[in-house]
Structure 1
Amino acid sequence: MPRGSKDKYTEKQKDKAEQIERSYERKGVPENEAEARAWATVNKQSGGGNRQGGSGKKKSAEAKQESRSSSAKRAAASRKGVPRADSLERETKDELMKKARSRNISGRSTMRKQELIEALKKAS
């Protein structure tokens, strides 16, 4: 088993890891590698074990879904060969506004979509 105790994981997380592990094993991945990949996937999707009083920011279900959707759109654009800078045009104004806010771009509230794209390109 990969490092660390799995005691703090929920049953749902443990079941998910088992299912992922079996899927990898069916594809011919060695058992220990399959298990490591499965737990890495569970950790990435759920943020690790069900810890009491954990620190850090907690995202709402809506915010998580929005992040997944945005990430999926960027991944699809990358698969089609669209460079990352061009993928900004594919994002909504709200998504661009959030990026501008996170990069602390001044004047963002009055910018149009194209102005936000240009400001984000400059800030990169």
Structure 2
Amino acid sequence: MAHRTAARPAPAGRPPADFPAEVLPHLGMPALIALTADDAAGRTCIWGGRALPLAAAVDLGEHLLDGVLAFPQSCGPCIVRRATDALAVHSPDCPTCRDRERWTECTVGYGLLSAQRQGLRVGRGGCR
């Protein structure tokens, strides 16, 4: 696919399997138009390019761009790194995340934590 900047389309009918779709913009997911064929098919990590066996992949949902479906995925270490970085940016400014009683009510903060956990579950062997 050609590399160009395009507006990020809304996810098609299926969000990521283990965390809410609202988390995706915070992870810095590349524009769908910039993904390689292997990235779009979910065969490689969208951030590092590593080939992904199904058991070592974190599902990033189903996306539609110009009538074409994409199924991007990540390796565990890449999603953990990105979710950790995003939490460090999001949490200090989020009153719900800072509230010890209500932090699980924040869709983004709790979703980023869920993405981290999913990355840890699928294993180490990352792209870098």
Higher strand share: 2
TM-score, normalised with respect to structure 1: 0.22
How does the TM-score come out when normalised to structure 2?
0.22
Between structure 1 and structure 2, the one with the greater Rg is: 1
Could you say which structure has the greater relative contact order, defined with CA pairs below 8 angstroms and 6 or more residues apart? 2
When you count helix as a share of all residues, which structure comes out higher?
1
